[in-house]
Amino acid sequence: MAGYFEEMGWRELEDGEQPDHLLHMARFIFEFGFNEDFNAREWPKLPPPASQETVKNLPETTIESDGKSCPICLKKFNIGEKVTEMPCNHQYHTTCISIWLNTTNSCPFCRYELPTDDEVYEQFKRNKKRSEQKQEDLAVLHNSMFS
């Protein structure tokens, strides 16, 4: 049995350790390919926080024009004010966006997603992308055969 566990990248529970059923179920679904149905659905709760590394490395920019405000606290930015910019170019007060990204990983304005430190969620995203690609390939194939 130990050989099988090792082969699957699993290990036996320590004395008194409880199994993480959700993680195991997710792995089971992902690794054995019973995932078509699971992937068709959305992540069933708020996605996890953005990875701390990514948040730390978000660039700081300076406000150059008048009239824009922070979408989180709705306060107007002053010209010359230093703000944090997301990869989607949306700008926020550094404190405002840090609190939000510590809750969930996407831009509050356009839902652009940052990477997370959550292994199961990242796997879910990869599988979802793969199944979308598969759908697309099937559609291309179908169209080439019937048009």
Q: Contact residues for another protein (CB under 8 A)? A: 43-46, 71-75, 96, 99-100, 103, 106, 108-109, 111
Site for Zn ion contains 113 (CB under 5 A): no
**Nearest distance, CB of residue 15 and another protein, angstroms:** 37
Site for Zn ion contains 73 (CB under 5 A): yes
**Nearest distance, CB of residue 108 and Zn ion, angstroms:** 8
**Nearest distance, CB of residue 140 and another protein, angstroms:** 29
3-state secondary structure the chain: CHHHHHHCCCCCCCCCCCCCHHHHHHHHHHHCCCCHHHHHCCCCCCCCCECHHHHHCCCEEECCCCCCECCCCCCECCCCCEEEECCCCCEECHHHHHHHHCCCCECCCCCCECCECCHHHHHHHHHHHHHHHHHHHHHHHHHHHHC
Of another protein, Zn ion, none, which one does residue 88 interact with (CB within 5 to 8 Å by kind)?
Zn ion
Roughly what angle, to the nearest 10 degrees, separates helices 21-31 and 119-146? 30
Question: Given candidates 13, 110, 140, 141, which one binds Zn ion under the rule CB under 5 A?
Answer: 110
Of another protein, Zn ion, none, which one does residue 112 interact with (CB within 5 to 8 Å by kind)?
Zn ion
Interface positions with Zn ion (CB under 5 A): 70, 72-73, 88, 90, 93, 96, 107, 109-110, 112
